[in-house]
A and B are shown apart, each in its own frame.
Chain A
Amino acid sequence: SAVISQKPSRDICQRGTSLTIQCQVDSQVTMMFWYRQQPGQSLTLIATANQGSEATYESGFVIDKFPISRPNLTFSTLTVSNMSPEDSSIYLCSVVRQGATHEQFFGPGTRLTVL
């Protein structure tokens, strides 16, 4: 398995501000993803974080709102920009390990509340 940590675990933010969430994995992984889980709902893929290049965003998500970095094979950040209460969600980092391309592992999530 892969051990994934996320920082912060939770935060309460004011509207109009930005928050950067960090995802650290204990081993090199081939793919890293960011998901959003709105209250009481399932997971929605925001983007695939690509090492050394721009992330690949899903429909409905844009780089200006959710800039993502992935400087190496074990670390990624997601920024939620110009936040509004609608951004209140759990944000989850997920990875696929080298050699296990059909199995995903998830971080504990970052619970974000925007006032």
Chain B
Amino acid sequence: AQSVTQLGSHVSVSEGALVLLRCNYSSSVPPYLFWYVQYPNQGLQLLLKYTTGATLVKGINGFEAEFKKSETSFHLTKPSAHMSDAAEYFCAVNRNTGGFKTIFGAGTRLFVKA
């Protein structure tokens, strides 16, 4: 069975500071990993994804994440936070092996202080 753990339900950073949102997963097969962002009163938007190949993946809005198999992690980073980054972030895992089901983490709310 697959699972996702996001460390920290709330993260607060100052504008211009590094953003680090942590995600660990468990999976019995090589996973596909995703980060989604949800702005207030909106649906989910895909930030980035890892399926195969390069383990450092770049997404929209300056975000990137690195797949580390040895650590079973897929942490999301951004070098410099912007006020517009304030949102809820969800890490997710799926693997389309005979059945499609995405498992979402509990989410991390990012606050950005001026």
Contacts and interface: CB of A to CB of B under 8 A. Distances in A.
Contact of A102 (B32, B41, B45, B107): B32
Contact of A42 (B34, B46, B96, B106): B106
Given A42-B90, A107-B43, A111-B41, A102 B49 contact: yes
Interface size, A (range): 20 to 34
B6 to A, nearest CB: 9
Given A96-B100, A101-B96, A102-B94, A41 B44 contact: no
Interface residues of B, number: 21
B105 A42 contact: yes
13 contacts: A42-B104, A42-B106, A45-B101, A45-B102, A48-B100, A101-B96, A102-B94, A102-B96, A103-B46, A104-B102, A106-B43, A106-B44, A109-B43
